[in-house]
Amino acid sequence: MARLLTFLAPADPPFSICGSGPGEFLDLFVSYDVARQEAQNRMDLLLHRTDGGQSKARTCFLSPEEQAVVRREMEDSAWDLWGRR
């Protein structure tokens, strides 16, 4: 059985996303398969509204090239967090 780690890349408010307004920020969630050492092909996005409006959730699927980019970012982030390579 594969072990999955879920990474969260929060964007601190204020952060503006194309088409969004002030007071909105985005969280990105991607799982990492430790056994296979690869990012999963699914990215979950959650748009938060600080004005009390309803949050919006979306899912997008990553191409193999996008997975490779996300994997490198996730690994760099983990190395920075734990301070070893």
Structure confidence at residue 65 as a pLDDT band (50, 70, 90): very high
pLDDT of residue 7: 62
CA gap 62, 50 in Å, rounded: 28
What's this model's pTM, rounded to 2 decimal places?
A: 0.64
Pick from 12, 47, 15, 53: nearest CA to 29: 47
Which of the two residues, 19 and 55, has the higher pLDDT score?
A: 55
The tens digit of pLDDT for each residue in 22-57 reads 566 777 888 888 788 888 899 888 887 777 777 888
CB 28 within 8 A of CB 5: no
Place of tokens 């799982």: 31
